[in-house]
Amino acid sequence: MQINGAQMVIEALIAEGVDTVFGYPGGAIMNVYDEIYKQKDFQHILARHEQAAVHAAEGYAKASGKVGVAMITSGPGFTNAVTGLADAYMDSIPLVVISGQVPMSLIGTDAFQEIDAVGISRSCTKHNYLVTKAADLPRVLKEAFHIAATGRPGPVHVDIPKDVTAEIAEFDYSIELELETYKPHTKGNPRQIKKAMEAIANAKRPLFYLGGGIINANAAYEVRDLVKKTGIPAVETFMARGVLSHDDNLLISMLGMHGSYAANMAMSETDLVIGLGARFDDRVTGKLSEFAKNAGVIHVDIDPASISKLVNADYPIVGDVKNVVTEMLEQSIGIDPKKYAPWRETIEKFEELHPLVYHEDTDRLKPQWVIERVGELLGDDANISTDVGQHQMWTAQFYPFSRPRQFMSSGGLGTMGYGFPAAIGVKAASPQKTSINFTGDGSILMNCQELMTAVEKKLPVINIILNNNFLGMVRQWQTLFYDKRHSETDLSVQPDFVKLAEAFGGIGYRVKTKEEFDIALKDAIDKNIVAFIEVIVERMENVMPMVPAGGSLFNMMLLQKKEK
């Protein structure tokens, strides 16, 4: 089939089963957008900023398990998108981001809207391409989708000069992929798995350490079976929320800088860490020399570069988590859950000593209550996105997650402005679920222009703005470590969020009481249009527990107990 490069892009997307593309047109990508206009096989959602387009593709990918697709133009179109690429790279989100580029003859001449997109994206993508001839497009696009989705997932960037999109060449998408230097190792070594299972059987205080790789591998239900069958307690990383259901009695909680006392103490007291799809991030480990220092370490990960990168693995297993856990299940017959009863009792005492709670001791609503209340009212019927800050940590701590792919947030990069566009992508991927974005009064302004996207495409995302008139997390650090010098974190001067939502064609609410919040949430769901629910919350509330940066997990700052 002889077609031009722009048509090849469309045909490749159709062949890959893409049903949604997020993007923003411009001169260098205009030929492709002309072909988008002519086709009816997938929908295009026009973002109002290229960063938001990529975040929306991330949200879509996280919620659906498919590869997210974003399309942007050259120059500032690409540089706007870099934050989204970096975010997806840090969190292992499968994306294909297609950018236009100036014609081949102008590359290197400082032409209008020229930028070295491939050079810039090299450090924040799993792989990238500059396509110099249309004949290469079928192979490149097929490779891009394959690389993005396999092994450790990640974003792949394809940069296409404008003249290449106009060039005629043969399109054959049935070609076999030949990637000699890219062959992810998906099967775990049987001997290593056997040794790991022997270590588990011999341990007295083993602990499952569950990471976001479990969700990427669609392995949550196999992990649930393994945890239940062995009776071994488990902690989740921030990115792994929903691997186990909130009501699983073997789930302790999230661990790390803002993990629960019981989870952090369990990790400090364990004699065997069973790490599944986790990368031992600094926000989890705290002071490395003190992290689980009396424990052996089993580390299962598909990325060999992650194993022993920060914490030495005594039992390293390179492989797809789903495959490895399936093997572990088959070898778990001899493990008696009763053996770990004393260990589970110890953890229960940790939970009783310092439970994960908050005090309702002020006139203003507590942000934790708002999150818990949404969980009570919507629970499994909602998909939850967040921006970055205090509200993000409170959501991870207090929302009752019941399933994988229910929680979408920016983990590794910590990107303010992620939540709203991601929630749009989530709604596009999962229209039957209510899409909630918990955000702050700082984060929401970073991509609030996406109100227009949500209105135009009838994507009724509900943004719950926990307004404390502060950049809350930075303010918390300033309060605790900078002698209350709140430098440039006071956000008392703000827009009218209700009018802002209404100006775009959405709906807005401003609530101060529990009763008002319940009414607003119900009305927003019933109205079925994009909404801002601004909740006036306690200004000086801190996220607790907290492990100071570089501190040991067992040395936490804790919520002061309320006097009787």
**What angle do helix axes 137-149 and 5-15 make, rounded to 10 degrees?**
30
Residue 189: DSSP 8-state:
P
According to DSSP, the β-strands at 127-130 and 155-161 are: parallel
Q: Which two tokens stand for residue 284?
A: 């989890």
What does the chain come to in residues? 564
Which of these, 421, 392, 323, lies nearest to 46 by C-alpha position?
421
Active site residues: 50, 112-113, 162, 473
What is the C-alpha separation between 347 and 345, in angstroms, rounded? 5
- Which amino acid, 216? N
Q: What is the DSSP string of 4-25?
A: EHHHHHHHHHHHTT--EEEE--
Q: How far apart are CA 462 and CA 524, in angstroms?
A: 7
Integer-rounded Cα Rg, in Å, for the chain is 24
Helix (H), strand (E) at residue 391: helix 390-398
Which of 56, 333, 356 has the alpha carbon at shortest distance from 236?
Answer: 356
Distance CA 267, CA 341 (A): 17
Strand ranges in 358-501 using DSSP code E only, listed in sequence order: 382-386, 407-408, 434-440, 462-467
Which residue do the tokens 């929908």 mark? 43
Q: What is the residue type of 250?
A: L
Burial of 173 (0-12, 13-18, 19+ CB in 10 A): middle
Q: How far apart are CA 458 and CA 45, in angstroms?
A: 11
C-alpha 413/C-alpha 424 separation (Å) is 20
Nearest in space to 164 (alpha carbons), one of 133, 130, 129: 133
Cβ atoms < 10 Å from Cβ of 111? 16
Contact 331, 193 (CB under 8 A): yes
**Given the structure tokens 């070295």, which residue do they identify?**
116
Cα separation of 122 and 346, whole Å? Answer: 48
156, β-bridge pairs = 96, 127
